[in-house]
Structures are given as C-alpha cells and as structure tokens.
Amino acid sequence: MNLDDFSDLIQRPDGGVRRDAEERRERLTVPPGALGRLDELGEWLSAAQQSVPVRAIEQPRLVIFAGDHGVAELGVSGRPAGGAYELVRSALDGASPVSVLARRFSVPMRIVDVSLDCDPELLPESVVRHRVRRGSGRIDVEDAISAEEAAQAVRLGMAIADEEADSGTDLVVLGDLSVGGTTAAATLVAALCGTDASVVTGRGGAGIDDLAWMRKCAAIRDALRRARPVLGDQLELLAASGGADLAAMTGFLLQSAVRRMPVILDGVVSAACALVAQRAAFRAPDWWLAGQVSGEPAQTKALDRMALTPLLDHGVTVGEGSGALLALPLVRAAAALAAELPEREPETAVDGEEPGPGTQAAALDGV
C-alpha cells in the first residue's frame, strides 16, 4: 500500500459551484460580511455538495476510533495505561460528555475499537469486530505496530468511510478515545513539522502535572529519533510512531475526501492524522473543518501547517469528539442561512421598465 496514490484520487471541492454560491450570497437581503464566517462556511458546503443553494445537513454522524498506546506505561497520561476501555464504556453508557452532546444534538454515534487493550467480550460485537490488534507498542523504544498492521488499519479506516458515505452520511464529526494517544499524535506532528519535543508537548485531555509533562516530553523526544528516519513513507511513520487507531483514522480521512464527505476534526489526535493524510494528498484538507482549539500545542502546529482555522475556542479539552460536536450547530446554521435567506428584489426604473445599457447611454448623451 502506498498512501501517495490518494493524491490522484482526491479532487478539491467544486470551484465553479463555490463561485456560484458566492454570487448568490451577494444577492441576499443580508449585507455581505454581516454573517461573518458563516458566509464562508455556507459557500464551502455548497462546493462540497456541488449544490447551490446549499442543502441542509440531514445525516451527520459521530465516528470515534478507539485504542490504547503502550507509551502510557511511562506515566505520560492522566489516566492509567490500558484505560481506554473505561472511556469507551462510559460513552456507550451515555455518561460521557460526547455521548451527552450526541444525544442532545440527535447525532448517531459509532465507536470503532481498533486497538483497545481489553478482552473483546467486555464490549458489544459491533464495537470490537474491526479490532486490528490489542494495544500498541511503546513508541519510545519500539514500533507501535507492524507495517502489515498499519496497512490493515488504514484499509479499515477506508472501509468505515465507505460505509458511512454509502449509508447517506453527509458530514462526519471525528473523535478518538485513547490513553497515550496525544503522545503519539504529538510525535507525528513534531516529526512532520521538524520541531523539537518541547514545542509540541501538551498536558492531554485528562491533564497532567509538571513531572508527568517532563516524562511525556522525554518520551516524545525518544520517539522522534525513531520517527525521523521513516519520514519519507507515511505508512512506515504510522507504524513506527502512530498506532493502529491513528492509522485507521488517517485512512478514514483520506477515503472521506475521495468520497467527497466533509469531516469536522476534533483535537490533537485527529489533527495529527490529518497532517499525515495531507502529506499523502495535498488536496485532502479542503474537505475538513477544524472544530475547536483544544489547547494542545501540537494541534495548533498541525492546523497552522494545513491552513485550517478552528471554528470555536471554548477551552474544551475533554477530547472524545466533544469540541468538534459543539461546532456542528454552527455548520448547520451556516447551511440554513445560505439556503433560506431571501434574495433582494431586482432594481427597476421609475416607469417600471428594467434599466438597460442603452438607457444609461442615452441619459449621458443628453447631458
């Protein structure tokens, strides 16, 4: 498998349709610029849908990739190593922030166990049936997964994207549930952006103290030494420093762009996977929105590199897809305004006749 092949498969949203949407916006009763960034969102959706006026978002879907990361054994997370199962269980039971928001916004939630470190019998078959492996290796001293497992995970993500597109999903809210995932994500971002570990090391969704931050920074530094030699191959990079869940998310993002299915990114994990995907297919980011600022420096670095400006900055650090889900009502509002605001009545002459170019010329001749 060569991820560079996606470069020929992904096209940008329709530029001609976007120009038509911009021209329609100029004719609306609300003055241009009065709706701020909502205008831009509506035009982007029109281009993605190839529709003027834009269609309402009718079938959004929350898709969450879950996995455990061996690097969590070093005490780099606010949660215990192998603890992602508890996060998944809480989401399934409706007791996590993302499940509360999904329920309130009437958005179906799909959780995909890619590499949880737990017995599969503990979770529903619909969640665990796609698992690639149990947990991932410690990226500071070994590869997270094998090259074969990385390819399998990417294909899994592609298959999930195809399933969603085929079922009529018209926009995806992307999330992750992991322990140690932000360490792997920061490593990927640092490697792809050519920065030091200290520049990308954050405190994670659960929050860590200064001592844990130093351990995390050291783990990313050591993982970077192993990541840099394989920068030329995105699949090898995901195998060495990412993990099965991050590889699956990367495949999902790439195939979603192939299928012209817009995606709202959440925090640092989805941003890191998006950066890997951009390295493979430079047009792919045109199909994504950055939902929110998570406060993770690696996320900021990745979004800057992809020229994606977050929609929200509410200080939400919980992860899981919660921040991206909070951005969904804003995107829906942009679609509704672009589609439903009336256009101005055409201007007419005083005598009720449409003024034409000859009318203005005759008036000038009589001056």
CATH number where 240 lies: 3.40.50.10210
Using the predicted structure, report yes or no on whether residue 121 has a pLDDT greater than 80: yes
Q: Tell me what percent of the residues of the chain surpass a pLDDT of 90.
A: 86
Q: Give the strand pairing for 288-290 and 171-179.
A: unpaired
Residue among 172, 30, 71, 202 nearest 112 (CA): 172
Q: Which two tokens stand for residue 293?
A: 């600022």
CB atoms within 10 A of CB 269: 34
| Tokens coding 55 | 């269609």
Same domain, 153 and 287: yes
Is the per-residue pLDDT at 134 higher than 70? yes
Are 102 and 24 found together in one domain?
no
pLDDT of amino acid 190: 97
**322 and 178 within one domain:** yes
Do residues 98 and 176 both lie within one domain?
Answer: yes
Task: Tally the domains of the chain.
Answer: 2
Is residue 156 over pLDDT 70?
A: yes
Rounded to 10 degrees, the C-alpha dihedral 36/41/43/46 comes to: -160
Which entry of 125, 296, 320, 345 is annotated as an active-site residue? 320
Determine how many CB atoms are found less than 10 A away from the CB of residue 36: 9
Output the pLDDT for position 225. Answer: 96
pLDDT tens-digit readout, 263-311: 999 999 999 999 999 999 999 999 999 999 998 999 999 999 999 999 9
Same domain, 272 and 355: no
Residue 16 scores a pLDDT above 60 = yes
Contacts of 178 (CB under 8 A, 6+ apart): 66, 67, 68, 69, 84, 87, 243, 245, 269
Is 58 noted as a catalytic residue in this protein?
no
User: In this predicted model, what pLDDT tens digit does every residue of 158-203 receive, in sequence order?
Assistant: 999 999 999 999 999 999 999 999 999 999 999 999 999 999 998 8
CA 363 to chain centre: 57
Domain coverage including residue 233: 60-330
Looking at the fold, whether 177 and 107 belong to one and the same domain comes out as: yes
Task: Give the DSSP letter of residue 72.
Answer: G
Are 46 and 162 in the same domain? no
Supply the pLDDT for residue 206. Answer: 64
pLDDT value at position 205? 62
Same domain as 110, residue 38: no
Statement to judge: residues 190 and 49 lie in one domain: no
**Largest interatomic CA distance in the chain:** 90
C-alpha 154: how far from chain center: 16
Determine the average pLDDT of the residues in 14-31.
93
Q: State which amino acid sits at residue 195.
A: T
CA–CA separation, 251 and 17 (whole Å): 27
Do 96 and 32 belong together in one domain?
A: no
Question: Do 222 and 117 belong together in one domain?
Answer: yes
| pLDDT confidence band for 367 (50 / 70 / 90) | very low
Residue 53, preceding peptide bond in cis (omega within 30° of 0): yes
Its pTM surpasses 0.75: yes
Q: Is 159 buried (19+), middle (13-18) or exposed (0-12) by CB count in 10 A? A: middle
CATH number for the domain harbouring residue 35: 1.10.1610.10
